[in-house]
């Protein structure tokens, strides 16, 4: 997907239609296996889940593109870009958008800048999954202050809108304009 800084990149984990996972490109197969073993910190899991749950869901949905955050060839995190989801509930007005879902850096890799680097690379990755997108949206639980800070530092904006349909309670709706990407 996108190279972020030396040694860090976002790698598309989608397996093309009609191709069995076992027949996918070897690097993609290896990264898919690796992300299944990643977990966020225990106190973060309720907010983002784990790839072992969200990757199979993404595989079944043609509107979702799973990706690995990779550092020097090793999977350190995971996320999903969605071009349909519940975007109509998040956007203030109808517009081409991409939704970030299930994003996290594995607990063992946190605190090394991988999350921030991946957040900065998300706009380019979003444009690759939907070329006409002009906004990247996400929701982040109001209790997840560290994630809110990370997204804001990465260029997302909080207009004060809340999404109330989350399983873990109210969530901030954050957006990143893609016009300049």
Summarize pLDDT for 160-169 with one digit per residue, the tens. Answer: 999 898 888 8
Summarize pLDDT for 34-88 with one digit per residue, the tens. Answer: 999 999 999 999 899 999 999 999 999 999 999 999 999 999 999 999 999 888 8
Cβ-based neighbours of 33, under 8 Å, separated by 6 or more: none
For residues 145-151, average pLDDT = 93
Asked if 95 and 138 touch (Cβ cutoff 8 Å), the reply is no
Q: How confident is the model at residue 18 (pLDDT cuts 50, 70, 90)?
A: confident
Asked if 55 and 104 touch (Cβ cutoff 8 Å), the reply is no
Please report the domains of the chain, with CATH numbers, ordered by start residue: 2-177 (3.40.630.30)
Q: How confident is the model at residue 20 (pLDDT cuts 50, 70, 90)?
A: confident
Under DSSP, is residue 110 helix (H, G, I), strand (E, B) or coil? coil
pLDDT value, residue 125:
95
Query: What is the chain's mean pLDDT, rounded?
Result: 91
Q: How far apart are CA 34 and CA 25, in angstroms?
A: 14
Alpha helices (H) in the chain, listed in sequence order: 26-36, 45-48, 51-59, 87-90, 114-129, 145-153
Tally Cβ neighbours within 10 Å of residue 154.
18
Asked if 150 and 79 touch (Cβ cutoff 8 Å), the reply is no
């Amino acid at each position: 997907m996108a190279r972020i800084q030396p040694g860090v990149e976002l790698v598309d984990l989608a397996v093309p239609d009609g191709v069995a996972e076992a027949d996918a490109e070897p690097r993609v197969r290896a990264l898919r296996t690796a992300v299944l073993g990643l977990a966020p910190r225990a106190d973060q899991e309720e907010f983002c889940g784990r790839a072992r749950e969200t990757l199979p869901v993404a595989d079944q949905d043609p509107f979702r593109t799973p990706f690995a955050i990779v550092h020097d060839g090793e999977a350190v995190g995971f996320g999903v870009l969605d071009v349909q989801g519940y975007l109509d509930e998040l956007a203030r007005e109808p517009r081409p958008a991409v939704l970030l879902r299930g994003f996290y850096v594995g607990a063992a890799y946190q605190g090394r800048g991988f999350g921030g680097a991946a957040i900065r690379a998300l706009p380019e990755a979003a444009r690759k999954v939907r070329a006409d997108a002009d906004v990247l949206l996400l929701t982040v639980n109001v209790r997840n202050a560290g994630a809110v800070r990370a997204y804001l530092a990465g260029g997302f904006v909080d207009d004060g809108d809340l999404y109330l349909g989350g399983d873990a309670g109210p969530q901030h709706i954050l957006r990143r304009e893609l016009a300049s990407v």
